[in-house]
A and B are shown apart, each in its own frame.
Chain A
């Protein structure tokens, strides 16, 4: 079950002796974030079919992440995990964590239907890109619209992980970020420096991209002037574009300027969110590059698992500002959650 944007996306697999007997897919509207009687009736009808009915949801906690460590003692070097719940898979050298408080809040909010599994988005990401994470160093993003999960993997090993949650206003977002990642808060204080360093590392890029960070931020904040995006559209000769075509993923459109002509206001809001996403990814990437605690490597490719209809501006920002090759795959998170839940139940039972 995947809860997002006032929508409850439910995928149900009925299996007997490991053989899929029936598959049901339903999408319900939430009422002020609460389950409607229709949803409860559907879940009740599903659970009536078998006693062994397990419900899995995606962990939507703001305070969660992943660390490239194997033990709690090593994790203390990065975070205070005294009030966190950890998952460490046996065959992995990294662990996922989340706030106990938010975990309990999530469980309590789903108490009326009962939840059996709360799955970390990092595992959704690694499972979805299981054919890629074992390759060379790349950044993987899970875009859920109101949150973004970021993981940098090299040969199957996590090098860096972070999770961002967006809120409707910026003030609330800052609070979420403060709770989310102390490292990220420190980076926010050093925003100007971070962006400078980022740009310095890209000295060999064309001069038109070698702009001052403040100028860039202002320019992107003032997206009403969409003429700037037209300039970005011209930057289609990036490195790695040929490689992008090798994958089956949908390659990113250059920009959404054409679409904006039909609905300019909505497009501006989307661009604003996309810029926020880009900004957070950029800051995190800067931390990854310059924090000695992380084993950094140069990122050339970005894989986005996108559950939203489109995030063209975000992809555009990544490609133009970070000079990376972006590959986008649409992800059906409810289906991936069902798959992971089945694996978890098989291991647990």
Chain B
């Protein structure tokens, strides 16, 4: 103090009411800013999660496709297996039928069974036995039957029977 017994009152550009209003305004703005930061942070988190989920989804889609391919492959294999199984059963039954078809007097030495054809090699006491006992049932099964005979030294005949089915009737 140079000349005065009292100190001058403190002068402030902003009044107390205005400073109070500014304080509350500042607090409000700070809260809004914090809320904004929270939302930005959360959005960033959600975006990161979304990207990760998209990558995971792509991976899972790819994996699903692979699995579906495998399923298709397995299904096809199963179908094929079923077909083979069915074919085998049919072949077994055909073979059983074939061997049931062959009478005791005729001996089949070899047989070649294909889808549309059956070639039998065997020995028969004579032609008549073959024609009556074996050729008749073969003709009932196949559309075309051709037989070649070779006479053996002991009087028996060696035969080669070639039998064909038409394409329409061939088993699939």
Contacts and interface: CB of A to CB of B under 8 A. Distances in A.
B5 interface: yes
Given A340-B3, A344-B2, A116 B8 contact: yes
A100 to B, nearest CB: 9
A119 B9 contact: no
Given A51-B12, A51-B13, A118 B5 contact: yes
A119 B2 CA distance: 9
Contacts of A349: 8
A28 interface: no
B1 A118 contact: no
Contacts of B7: 348
Interface residues of A, number: 29
Interface stretch (A52-60, A170-178, A180-188, A271-279): A52-60
A349 B9 CA distance: 10
A117 B8 contact: yes
Contacts, number: 61
18 contacts: A51-B11, A51-B12, A87-B1, A103-B5, A114-B9, A116-B4, A117-B6, A118-B6, A119-B4, A119-B5, A120-B3, A120-B5, A127-B3, A340-B3, A343-B2, A344-B1, A344-B2, A347-B2
Interface of B: 1-9, 11-13
Contact of A87 (B3, B9, B11): B3
A345 interface: yes
A116 B1 CA distance: 12
A118 B12 contact: no
Interface centre among A117, A120, A345 (most CB of B within 10 A): A117
Contact of A116 (B2, B9, B13): B9
A87 B7 CA distance: 11
Given A51-B11, A52-B11, A87 B6 contact: no
B13 A107 contact: no
A123 interface: yes
A344 B11 CA distance: 15
A87 B8 contact: no
Contacts of A340: 3
B2 A89 contact: yes
B4 A118 contact: yes
Contacts of B9: 114, 116
Nearest to B12: A51
Closest 6 CB pairs of A and B: A116-B8, A117-B4, A123-B3, A340-B3, A118-B5, A85-B5
Contacts of A343: 2-3
Interface string A48-71: 000111101001000000000000
Contacts of A11: none
Contacts of B13: 51
B8 to A, nearest CB: 4
A162 interface: no
Contacts of B8: 54, 116-117, 344-345, 348-349
Contacts of A52: 11
Interface string A314-349: 000000000000000000000000001101110111
A51 B7 CA distance: 17
Contacts of B6: 85, 103, 107, 115-118
Contacts of B3: 87, 89, 117, 119-120, 123, 127, 340-341, 343-344
Interface in A80-112: 85, 87, 89, 98, 103, 107
A52 to B, nearest CB: 5
Contacts of B12: 51
Given A340-B3, A347-B2, A348-B2, 11 more contacts: A53-B11, A87-B5, A89-B3, A117-B6, A120-B3, A123-B2, A343-B3, A344-B4, A344-B8, A348-B1, A348-B8
Q: Most chain-A Cβ atoms within 10 A of its Cβ — which of B1, B2, B4, B11?
A: B4
Contact of A98 (B1, B2, B5, B11): B5
